[in-house]
Chain A
Amino acid sequence: MATKPGASLLSIELVYRAQFARFLHVATAITGDAERGADAVQEAFAKAVRRRLDFRREGSLEGWLWRTVVNCARDQVRRPQRSSSTPEPVVPTEPDHDRLRSWIAQLPERQRLVLFLRYYADLDYRQIAHALGIRTGTVAAALNAAHAALRPLLESTEVPHHA
């Protein structure tokens, strides 16, 4: 029996409710601001709801939603910020955090996205590949390159442990 394309509203809602924190974390990392990150997640899921019948089930629903969220967050970055809103830093300004963020910001976009999806979303290589529309081997190469770029930081940084 042929599988019916499309995703149900309830299955999208389930992913949203179960994984909102991870979507928000990645979108915040991409946009650099929690408010803009939240807006990107809301926009992405609204798009997914509107286009849920276009979901072809070629991969997982989760992967399709990750791709939508990443694209919306990237669109947010390209969009000029409203002058009235002052962007708030994600964390209190501390020299180490600033240094970390500026270092990560200097990485090529693909390496940054792979890092975010690997460490903030806990996705495996296959899921990252699906979310970014690239091959699994490319994910591995990008992650390797990002790790190599971060190595000097790892060797010189004292990182407080989070509970």
Chain B
Amino acid sequence: MPDARDLMTCAVPPPSAAEHEDWPGVLARAAEGRRGFPVTMAVALATSLAAALLLAFGSPLSTQSSGAAVVAIDPSTGRHIDLGAASRTSKPVILVPAGTRTLYAWMNGPRSEIGDGVSAATWHGAPISKLLAGNYALVVAITPDPRLAFGLTGPGIHRKTRPFSPGHGGYQTWVLTLRSGTYRYTVTGLPPKTFQVYK
């Protein structure tokens, strides 16, 4: 005799989620119903992150709880957090591809650094000067001052942050492929700093 779960699954089998999942569509629809909602940047960010992940890994985002292609990071500590716990918190969390090394950039006051958070206890880790070439997720903490932007240039990369938006939780994430060469980073009005990438 089947149990109730078998019976229910038989009555309505699970539809194909891949055909219907569309987070940028949710943001666009939210924007339709709210004047002045700062959604354009969010759509652009979500789309560019998904596109970058596609380019980097050749497969769409997947957030199954096991074997996840994406992991969540608590930006205040730099530590990975459980996807379930991340979904229950209202604090900002950052999504990065699993297995990608994570770098952090901050632009508070006169300091602007890119730090390697992997070995640091907090995400304000030691500033980097040398890196191995490869895929990285760079999490940039955005300062609320709209006149300031963080920029990174180097082989194959020319990026600048968009102005602060509370909707982003004050962070922007770039998925980057760093190639050998010299990269320069700066905050508006401050002298640039550099780091080297080696093969």
Interface residues of A (CB under 8 A from B): 4-11, 13-21, 24-25, 28-29, 34, 37-38, 41-43, 45-47, 49-50, 55, 57, 60-62, 90-91, 96-97, 100-101, 104, 115-116, 119-120, 147, 150, 153-155, 157-162
- Cβ of B90 within 8 Å of any chain A Cβ, yes or no, is yes
Q: What is the bound-complex CA distance between A37 and B22, given in angstroms?
A: 13
Q: Are the C-beta atoms of B34 and A24 separated by less than 8 Å?
A: no
Q: What is the bound-complex CA distance between A50 and B90, given in angstroms?
A: 15
Q: What is the bound-complex CA distance between A6 and B34, given in angstroms?
A: 17
> Mind listing 22 A-B residue pairs with CB under 8 Å?
A5-B90, A11-B86, A13-B23, A17-B61, A20-B17, A20-B21, A28-B15, A45-B26, A46-B26, A49-B27, A50-B30, A60-B88, A91-B13, A97-B11, A101-B11, A119-B5, A120-B8, A154-B1, A154-B2, A157-B7, A159-B7, A162-B10
Q: Which residues B66-103 have CB closer than 8 A to chain A? A: 70, 72, 83-84, 86-95
Q: Are the C-beta atoms of B17 and A97 separated by less than 8 Å?
A: no
Q: What is the bound-complex CA distance between A90 and B8, given in angstroms?
A: 13
Q: What is the bound-complex CA distance between A101 and B11, given in angstroms?
A: 6
* Chain A-chain B contacts (Cβ-Cβ < 8 Å), number: 157
Q: Are the C-beta atoms of B90 and A61 separated by less than 8 Å?
A: yes
Q: Which residue of A is nearest B8, CB measured?
A: A119
Q: Which residues B42-71 have CB closer than 8 A to chain A? A: 42, 46, 61, 63-65, 70
Q: Which residue of B is nearest A122, CB measured?
A: B5
